[in-house]
Structure 1
Amino acid sequence: MYLLYDLVLLASAAVLIPYYLFRGWRQGKVRRGIRERLGFYTAGQLAQVAGRKVLWVHAVSVGETRAAVPLLKRLKSLYPEHLLVLSNVTETGHQIARDLREVDLCLFFPFDLSWVVQRVLRQVRPDAVIIVETEIWPNFIHGASRAGIPVILVNGRISDRSFPRYRLARKLIAPILDQIDAFCMQTELDGERIVAMGARSERVSVTGNLKFDMQVHPVDSAERERLRGAFRLPEGAVIWVAGSTHAGEEEIVTAVYRDLVAAGESLFLILVPRHPERCRPVREMLAGQGIDVGLRSALEERQSPFSPGEILLVDTLGEMLTFYALADLVFVGGSLVPVGGHNVLEASLVEKPVVFGSYMHNFKEISSLLLNEGAGLMVNDRLELLGAMRQLLGDAARRTAMGRSGAGLLERNAGATDKTIAVIDRLVR
């Protein structure tokens, strides 16, 4: 099976490696990114891991990296003698990871070819591998298991969409799952599903969702005023942040924004595309509609504040929670187009009302909880988004109540980090 898997990956490499080379060249990372994915590290990186105990946490992209922060902080506190390594697949996830103080070394996750994996594990020599959410990398897991390295899957989730496909491939997946030493699943249903896929039931624990344990440095009124000035936000305007948007959503959001401003609302939109590299086409689209746009990266050059009807387009990473903290209203993208949604709890973390679309299959449980608590609103299309915005703009008390309900939901569901650490500790110590 592993030989066949290697052959399939090699065939794919004819497309993937030129893609990574081109993308790396555009972002100035051609050598480091591709070399790390092939298991070639710098002398400095190798010196960091030499002779050290290593805990390797893998989080594929931005969402998984942010979800892992409470766990990373606890690991750093409990195992100070270990070097904490965090790997990512995506460039955006890697950029977020590099800003985490708890992480000692950030790496790109290796291509899952057997000889690449063997080279990587031989050099890094982790004492344990912790995989965030359901990332099943056959050669990496197999290589770690053969080397006697415990593999722990945390914050595990099996979606309604992926479960039927996993069940069909059970004969292929079960041997891989058998090499994972512990599964920390978000819900009872996720636990049942991973067992149905081939995991040993005695290795499965229901530990909850790490996203409920997220923390943020509070922004007081003085800091908020300072940030409003730094971001050139218009005085007195209601701030609407549309975060993690995808292609097709910016058009919907800006159409609603223009309708509201034309109706006399003193409203200002901060638009944060999920992938910063998309800011150029988004900016061109907005300019084509006659909308004045300012880039986050160019704010220092701007002297005057924005006006309602204009847009701040965020082309940087790592400031989402700051913008949410400044918002009066939050829309979370990936939900009006069939992406599956993004982490709506980030808005609740800073006590903001959150609106999202109906494509929330990646956050089905969380979105249901928010709706049941009255902390969020779900919309299906542009007209429903316009209606929801009109309701909330006209009711400041409701906005405040929704934000507080979301914060209460987080508080009541916290504790996944403690339960996950208890499982990890049995295998690490």
Structure 2
Amino acid sequence: MLLALYQILALLLLPLLLPWHLYRSLSRGRSPGFAERLGWLPSAVTKRLAGRPVIWLHAVSVGEAMAARPLLKALKSRYPDHGLLMSVTTETGRAVAAGFPEPDCCIYFPFDVLPAVRAALTSVAPRLIIIMETEIWPTFCREADRRGIPLLLVNGRISDRSIGRYRKLAWFFRHPLALFSHCCMQSDADRDRIIAIGAPEERTMVCGNLKYDIPWRQVPVEERHDLRRQYGIPAGRLVVVAASTHPGEEELLVPVWRQAAQQRNDLQLVLVPRHPERAGEVAALMEKNTLACRRRTTLTDGAVLAPGQVLLVDTVGELMKLYALADLAFVGGSLVPTGGHNLLEPASLGIPLIFGPHMANFRDIAALALQYGAGVQVTDTAELAEALKEFLNSPDLRQVLGANGLKMLRDSGGATERIMDVVARSL
């Protein structure tokens, strides 16, 4: 009865969702992908998957898609005769995932209304569905179960910020959670939390965090120099990459950067907003504060950034290259209460870290980074300014923290293999 009421409500809300989604997509300069979201998949997708058993992996956005890379590689290697379909929800997630070589196809996840879900599942007929983190859609889960398709929740997590809401809605999530064959959680805390909201205890286990399984390496000096030339950064500059920043965060960073730049003239800031469509807004903020900036999309071959000119990155899919050319990384979403972002990406390249107090979505990673001495957590802009000054003035400190980050990655992997054991049992 509850599922039937949910499905009716979802259908009633769909006409309201479509215009909002259209506006959101077009305002970001991207296609809304309505056909795929309504379950009508392109013939190129169905033809490419035809005649093979299909594994369907779903990741909401950029963070989940990047975290899925080790698992995608393992699936492709272990099951080369299977078709590998990846779905995402957001437009930026689609832009990133479409560049992955492992999936045969990338689509938008269907709206959780019965006609769309049925159409998508009929077109793909997957042998196994893998859901990253906590994407729990009742109609999709019920229809997959009705068709006998095993559902795996992997890299599962319940953040500090969301556990209260989940507990209040445990009556709603209990049924779809019971349909998962296995729930592979990141930590003991995540396991306890998802069991508390209805996941079957006997099918819920701790497998670790896939994000720790990303490749790690020390970036060679020659590669770093080549990357800097590609981005117009002259030799001799100390490069700070401020990544995945959010509204309100750039306003906090600008005075800190101005203070640092007044103390020495060899600094280069590379600013990477989490959503590149905000580049105009961020550029206006820079102009207001008399900071010169150059957008990535206007950077031509042979261009050189002027002293004091900020490189404003208004593209997607380049963050790892930018980390590779950096001397220091500030990981955003952490000075403002949005839950933080992935510290492991810069750490995997031996880049020392600075991050703010708001790391609820990455609490375990933040704790591990501090435990290993791979980075510094600051509570406000005053501490950020002090940490930035200390890092920029001490090459030895940067080297030690970078090496600690590589050790953290080396010691903390293994989630992919544990999840692949579950996949093998499910198939």
**TM-score interval, normalised by the smaller of the two chains:** over 0.9
Could you say if the C-alpha distance between residues 388 and 189 of structure 1 is closer, same or farther in structure 2, counting changes exceeding 3 Å?
A: same
Contact 1:237 1:308 in 2 (8 A): no
2:344 aligned with 1:345: yes
Secondary structure of the 2:84 match is strand
Deviation at 1:76, TM superposition (A): 0.3
1:222 equivalent in structure 2:
222
Deviation at 1:308, TM superposition (A): 3.5
2:308 equivalent in structure 1:
309
1:324 equivalent in structure 2:
323
Contact 2:217 2:349 in 1 (8 A): no
Which amino acid in structure 2 is aligned with residue 313 of structure 1? L
Alignment of 1:32-111 (within 5 A): 33-111=33-111
Contact 1:335 1:358 in 2 (8 A): yes
Could you say if the C-alpha distance between residues 311 and 28 of structure 1 is closer, same or farther in structure 2, counting changes exceeding 3 Å?
A: closer
1:282 equivalent in structure 2:
282
Partner Cα separation in structure 2 for residue 145 and residue 402 of structure 1: 47
Which amino acid in structure 1 is aligned with residue 19 of structure 2? P
Deviation at 1:105, TM superposition (A): 0.4
Which amino acid in structure 1 is aligned with residue 230 of structure 2? A
Contact 1:234 1:268 in 2 (8 A): no
Partner Cα separation in structure 2 for residue 260 and residue 206 of structure 1: 43
Partner Cα separation in structure 2 for residue 16 and residue 403 of structure 1: 45
Secondary structure of the 2:300 match is helix
Deviation at 1:282, TM superposition (A): 0.7
Identity of aligned residues (%): 44
Gaps of 5+ in 1: none
Secondary structure of the 2:241 match is strand
Secondary structure of the 1:278 match is helix
Structure 1 segments of 4+ aligned residues over 3 angstroms from their partners: 23-31, 216-219
Alignment of 1:10-409 (within 5 A): 10-26=11-27, 29-30=30-31, 33-215=33-215, 219-300=219-300, 303-409=302-408
Report the RMSD for the aligned CA atoms in angstroms.
Answer: 1.6
Which amino acid in structure 2 is aligned with residue 399 of structure 1? R
Secondary structure of the 2:68 match is helix
Partner Cα separation in structure 1 for residue 217 and residue 145 of structure 2: 39
Could you say if the C-alpha distance between residues 194 and 304 of structure 1 is closer, same or farther in structure 2, counting changes exceeding 3 Å?
A: closer
Secondary structure of the 2:264 match is coil
Which amino acid in structure 2 is aligned with residue 15 of structure 1? L
1:110-160 residue CA offsets vs partner (Å, 9 max, x unmatched): 001112111111111010000011111111111100110000000011122
2:412 aligned with 1:410: no
Q: TM-score normalised to the size of structure 1?
A: 0.96
Deviation at 1:295, TM superposition (A): 1.1
Partner Cα separation in structure 1 for residue 333 and residue 307 of structure 2: 25
Deviation at 1:8, TM superposition (A): 3.0
Contact 1:181 1:203 in 2 (8 A): yes
Secondary structure of the 2:158 match is coil
Deviation at 1:299, TM superposition (A): 1.1
Which amino acid in structure 1 is aligned with residue 356 of structure 2? G
Deviation at 1:265, TM superposition (A): 4.5
Partner Cα separation in structure 2 for residue 97 and residue 213 of structure 1: 18
Could you say if the C-alpha distance between residues 11 and 283 of structure 1 is closer, same or farther in structure 2, counting changes exceeding 3 Å?
A: farther
Deviation at 1:217, TM superposition (A): 7.1
Contact 1:243 1:333 in 2 (8 A): yes
Secondary structure of the 1:300 match is coil
Partner Cα separation in structure 2 for residue 312 and residue 181 of structure 1: 47
Contact 1:270 1:314 in 2 (8 A): yes
Aligned length: 426
2:426 equivalent in structure 1:
427
Q: TM-score normalised to the size of structure 2?
A: 0.96
